[in-house]
A and B are shown apart, each in its own frame.
Chain A
Amino acid sequence: GAVVSQHPSWVICKSGTSVKIECRSLDFQATTMFWYRQFPKQSLMLMATSNEGSKATYEQGVEKDKFLINHASLTLSTLTVTSAHPEDSSFYICSARAVWTANTEAFFGQGTRLTVV
């Protein structure tokens, strides 16, 4: 199957700083990427949908100014958590949809565990 690489796998940052998470599709082009957040023992909650070359679409309740998403190319999307606070500590996972069919399988990165201290 297709590979989605997410980096870093874990990060610890100080409160007030910003953290960037990268999501790359390694062997396919992805017009659409999705960002999810997962709290302990909870399911994945969709944060936003990003399409290459356009602004991301955020889900209700997700602050677009806090969670900046950039999808500059068909193989790379980034999520920047700005002015991070301890409540932003969570597991973030990206997903990419391949372009070759309309009814496609979604491939997921291995996730990034963010801890804000």
Chain B
Amino acid sequence: KQEVTQIPAALSVPEGENLVLNCSFTDSAIYNLQWFRQDPGKGLTSLLLIQSSQREQTSGRLNASLDKSSGRSTLYIAASQPGDSATYLCAVVNRDDKIIFGKGTRLHILP
């Protein structure tokens, strides 16, 4: 059974710092991995999608990497801003088409 773990569960950093969020998964037989952002009481905003054949994706200040063989992904946020404060969710798509989510990392950027 696929399990997705995100570390840390919560993180507070001063504005301007670069930071890394971690995601690990137990079954490497995945189609792809997605990073999402969720603001309190809101739905999901897709940030980056990495196909299983890819190693990284970049969008603006965000960079996500994927090491499928070791079951790991990282989300790198450069020059953090208060508006980046949110919960970041990692999700993998299994070969059975099910999307399995981690519990998320609650990020707070201090002004």
| From A43, A109, A111, A113, contact of B103 by CB (8 A) | A43
Q: A43-B89, A44-B89, A44-B101 are in contact. Are A103 and B51 (CB under 8 A)?
A: yes
- Measured CB to CB, the nearest residue on chain A to B90 is A43
Contacts of B46 in A (CB 8 A): 1, 105, 107-108
How many chain A residues touch B (CB < 8 A): the figure is: 25
The B-contacting residues of A in range 15-49, CB under 8 angstroms, are: 32, 34, 36, 41-46, 49
| From B42, B51, B93, contact of A106 by CB (8 A) | B93
| A103 and B43 contacting across the interface, CB-CB below 8 Å | no
- Measured CB to CB, the nearest residue on chain B to A34 is B99
15 more CB-based (< 8 A) A-B contacts, given A108-B43, A108-B46:
A1-B46, A6-B43, A34-B99, A43-B101, A43-B103, A45-B101, A49-B98, A95-B99, A103-B32, A105-B46, A106-B34, A106-B93, A107-B46, A108-B36, A109-B43
